[in-house]
Amino acid sequence: MAKSLTPKLKKILTEAGCYFERTGKGDHDIWYSPITQRRFVVDSAIKSRHTANAVLKQAGLPKQF
């Protein structure tokens, strides 16, 4: 099974100024991006680089995976 990309993703988001807002349904977290001024969902076990890059796109950041 692939290693989770979530810890690295959360570190990138935090360094960019995004922050955790609240827990969502199941194992999802709601984050806020000051870049896009929008909320977005981060799963606790992202294993696909495509999903990780999609989260970065929602946060207004370039691909890094």
Dmax (CA) of the chain: 34
CA distance 7 to 37: 22
Reported as a pLDDT band with limits 50, 70 and 90, residue 19 is very high
CA distance 65 to 55: 11
pLDDT tens-place string over residues 27-45: 999 999 999 999 999 999 9
Torsion of CA 12, 17, 21, 24, to 10 degrees: -30
Q: Is the predicted pLDDT of residue 2 greater than 80, yes or no?
A: no
Reported as a pLDDT band with limits 50, 70 and 90, residue 1 is low
Contacts of 57 (CB under 8 A, 6+ apart): 63
